[in-house]
Every structure is written in structure tokens, then in C-alpha cells.
Structure 1
Amino acid sequence: MYAIEFKNVSFRYEEEQPYVLRNVSFQVKAGEWLAIIGHNGSGKSTIAKLMNGLLFPTEGEILINGIPLSEESIWEIRRQVGMVFQNPDNQFVGTTVRDDVAFGLENRGVPRSEMMNRITSSLEQVRMQEYLLHEPYRLSGGQKQRVAIAGVLAISPSVIILDEATAMLDPLGRKEILDTVHRVQAAQQLGLITITHDLNEVMQAHRVLVMNDGEIWTTTVPRELVKRQSELQQIGLDVPFVTQLAHALESQGISLTEQPIDHEELLDALWTLHLNK
């Protein structure tokens, strides 16, 4: 059984409008990190909303842990799938960090003793326990997103979706959030879906699904994807700087043994090349 399964899913907002998704099929295993990437308007954020029942497919079927998405199952689906959006301010409802993380638990009738344990545990996982009584609006962008992630973790989902959750952050904030979710995902074996248009953010994912004009363009692993630089640029995606530099070195006759996917691998490859001269 898959954590998430899309079966020939198509979607359009109105009957007379064109489809924004066409015949999309893929699966996400329990504990897997799938990155979904594509240019603006490619359909990736529509997929995120379909996973959480914010939208329902026009055609096809969606299953979450084997449960078909429907009007009858929507609340069970939302218990299992937590979502973090681009702007954390839109998710805050409490006057303190503690109150905000407690909100989802209160709505589910979680007993107070268990609620306090979950609040403490989820804030510790994102390293925000020292901010328990702080006002959310006084936090930095990265801290706000970590609180938003803690609020999702508190309801014990099996899958977490980050829908452009790092888009409003600076490079350091992006790295902090990605490191946080990677650590939590690995520790709890959660399914993780990251939605982005930035290829730099997908290098740690287990698999990458690339959307283009409402259809799946390819599904592969990050290391294979970055080898297709010219094709990616043709569908409106910028490849990471490390990839561009590696290709530039290749064009100058400097061959690396393997395509690096981050700065550390690039430095290791260059050092190995130097030692072998």
C-alpha cells in the first residue's frame, strides 16, 4: 500500500475551462521524499491541493494510505496529510507559539495532558522549544515556518506537504527549513512531498517528479535529472549553479568522474581530479 497514489487524475476548475492536470499517475511510498518541481502554472500546486482534499479530481482517483479521497473521507485524509504553505502568517491563529501549535489538537479533541506532550515534542523536533510563549508574528521567516511545521507534526500525520514553503525565505532560511524537514522525515519515516520551482531544493529528495503544462514530464532521481540541463531549461527550469559549473568545466575539457549535485561533491570531485594529475 502506498502513502499516496494518483490514478489517471485530471483536473479543471470549471467545465468550460481547459484542464490544468491531465492523466497524472504516480505513487509515494511510506517514508519516501518526493520532490515535485515545475515552472509556474505547470500544475504542481494543484497536485498539492488535491492531496489534501482542498480540491477533488475531475477525473481519476486519489488514495491516501489506501483510502479513496471523497467527501466522506475528507477529514480522515486531512488527519493523515499535513500541509505547510508558502506564507506562514496565513496559518497562524494563536497569540503565542504554544497556542498556535495547540490549535489543530484542540480541534481534534486531544486531551490536555497529551496535547502538552505533543506541543513540547513537535517544537523540540524543529528546535523551537525556547520560543514557546513568543508571539508568532515577531519571529523571523524561517522561525515562522518551523512553527508551522511543528503545528503539522503535532497532529501526527503520515505525510507532510511543503507547498513552496521556502519561497519567501533567504538562502540561509531555506537551508534551515530543508535541513529541519529532512531530519524530521528521516527520524519518523514520514512521507514528504516538497513542491517547488527551484531545482536547488530537490537535491536531497529520493525522487523528483517534473511537471510541465499539466502533465508529468519525467520522474527520476536528482542525480540523473541534473544531467538534462538543456532540456530543463527548455521547459523553463533553471538548473543549480553547481550543475552549470560542472557543465562549463566539461566544455573546457575538464571531465569529472560523476555529476556533482551540491557544493561538497563538486569540491571533492575537483580535489580528486587534482590528486590524479
Structure 2
Amino acid sequence: MRNKFIEFRNVSFRYSDEEPWVLKNCSFEIYENEWIAIIGHNGSGKSTIAKLMNGLLFPQEGEIIINGQQVNEETIWDIRRDVGMVFQNPDNQFVGTTVQDDVAFGMENRGFPRAEMVKRIEQNLTAVGMQEYRLTEPHRLSGGQKQRVAIASVLAISPKVLILDEATAMLDPKGRMEIMRTVSNVQEEYKLSLITITHDLQEVVQAERVLVMNKGEIWDEATPREIFAKKEALREIGLDVPFVAILTDELKQAGISITNEPLNQEELLEDLWTLHSRT
């Protein structure tokens, strides 16, 4: 049984006393080595959750526990050693003149020995498929390549949690696929907790669990398959339904008895082939 790594206990937050609550009495848990997706429409509170996890914000009500410590001003630097974060725009995270300089930056700030830095630069650029670009200037990279370097920079300091906050929002479909493939490989290799925050339901199929936010509250919490089954309800709270789910409904309405809720094209094709084999 896995241990709890992050706990939100009745957390509420707003940016000022004059503004409405962005989060309202939110409670949930994230476990070691778990991949969880947090989804919701713009303004639902999901990115605020990410900033609270990393100590960029502090709750007005409730408490947040990470790796056994309450998040506050005294523990913030310990928390940030455990929690790494990749933002929507990778350009905001680049500080080095070359890719390897950027990956080295966080380690330099933490006083890593040079030999260990060299080893980790190679290891983490290899993990995200960017080792051939180590001497490249970051501004010469594509959007997807920049995000992979940003991920490598965070991994270099050995976090126990990796948060991707809308990390694919500025990418084209190919770039999004590359990043999701990269984070899947990284999560499997490094055995860390992975939190992907997005409004795109296509990106959550690989997660073990999905947390759905709506108007600052937890609307639902379930597996991707269980969430995708609630198509109409998802539309009502402003979330697009994946194409595979739409196609599955159309096939059912046409009299094709698909019993499962396919998560992707491969599962849908397998279901159709099984039906065909029986006829």
C-alpha cells in the first residue's frame, strides 16, 4: 500500500478579501509514485492548487501537508526540494545560455559537487531525449523541446513530485504528444508522483486518477474511464469531451453495442474487432 505524500485538508484560498474564493474547502490526497491529473475549466482553481503545493501561495483556511510537513514560511525550502514544477511557458524558466547551463542552474544553487552535476545533466537530458542539444541556446529550440529541457532541469534536483501546470497548452498536437510521452517515461523511470494540470481531457488517459475542479470545488474524483463516462455532465461544466468518447456514443446510437468506455483509439478498435469476430 502506498503512502500519502500530499494532503489538502479543508483548504480555501482567495487572492484578496474583496475577491471571491478561488478554492473552497478542498480536501484530497496524492500518493507516492501516483500519476494524478487535475482538470477543470479556466478559473476552476486547478492552477491555484499547483501554486499552493509548491509554496508559491499559502491557504487562508485549512492546511497542506507534504511529505509529513505542513506547508508554511518556515518549511517552504524543504517543500520546494521535494516538489518540482514546470509551467505553461518554458521561456519563463530559462536562465542559462545553453541547455546544459539551464539544467545545471538549480543544482548550482543547491551546492551540488561539479562531478555530480555533470552526471545529472547527462542523465536527465537523456531521460527527456535532449542530450544532443546540450550546447544549444534555448531560444533556438521548438516549444516541445523547451518543455523537455524544463522537465530535465526540474528532474536534476531529484524532486519526489513533478507538477506540470498546463505544460502543453502552448504546443501544437505533435508537441503535446511528445511531452505526454516524455512525462510517461519519466514517471516510470524515476518513480515519482506526477501531477498533470490541464483543461484538455485528451491528456489524462494515462493518469491513475482524475480530480475534476469546478468553480473552486472538487466536482468529482475517479479513474479516467469513470470520468469519461460522464460526458454530458462534463460538457455542462465547460470541459470538452475526447473525440474517442464522442465517436463511441455515435456508434452506440447506431446500434453497435460497445460495452466498455474506450480511453483511446486503440481500445475502441479492439472493441470493434472483438464485436466483428463474434458476428
The TM-score bracket by the shorter chain reads over 0.9
Among candidates 155, 160, 176, match of residue 158 of structure 1: 160
Aligned-partner SS, 2:168:
coil
The Cα of 1:252 is off from its aligned counterpart by: 1.5
Among candidates 30, 33, 38, match of residue 32 of structure 2: 30
**Which residue does 1:265 correspond to in 2?**
267
Separation of aligned partners in 1, 2:96 and 2:260? 49
Partner amino acid for 1:22?
Answer: K
**Which residue does 2:42 correspond to in 1?**
40
Gaps of 5+ in 1: none
**Which residue does 2:54 correspond to in 1?**
52
**Which residue does 1:169 correspond to in 2?**
171
Aligned-partner SS, 2:4:
coil
Among candidates 68, 71, 90, match of residue 69 of structure 1: 71
Among candidates 133, 153, 163, match of residue 131 of structure 1: 133
1:40-72 CA distance string (max 9 Å, x none): 000000000000000000100001111110100
Aligned-partner SS, 2:27:
strand
Separation of aligned partners in 1, 2:278 and 2:259? 11
Cα RMSD, aligned residues only: 0.7
**Which residue does 1:147 correspond to in 2?**
149
**Which residue does 2:12 correspond to in 1?**
10
**Length, aligned pairs only:** 277
Separation of aligned partners in 2, 1:104 and 1:158? 15
1:122-181 CA distance string (max 9 Å, x none): 111101111110001101111100000000000000000000000111111111111111
Partner amino acid for 1:270?
Answer: L
- Percent identity, aligned pairs only, is 68
Task: Please identify, of 202-211 and 265-274, the stretch whose mean Cα deviation from structure 2 is larger.
Answer: 265-274
Among candidates 79, 86, 89, match of residue 87 of structure 1: 89
1:235-263 CA distance string (max 9 Å, x none): 00011000000011111211113111101
Gaps of 5+ in 2: none
Among candidates 232, 235, 239, match of residue 233 of structure 1: 235
**Which residue does 1:253 correspond to in 2?**
255
Separation of aligned partners in 2, 1:63 and 1:12? 19
**Which residue does 2:111 correspond to in 1?**
109
Partner amino acid for 1:86?
Answer: Q
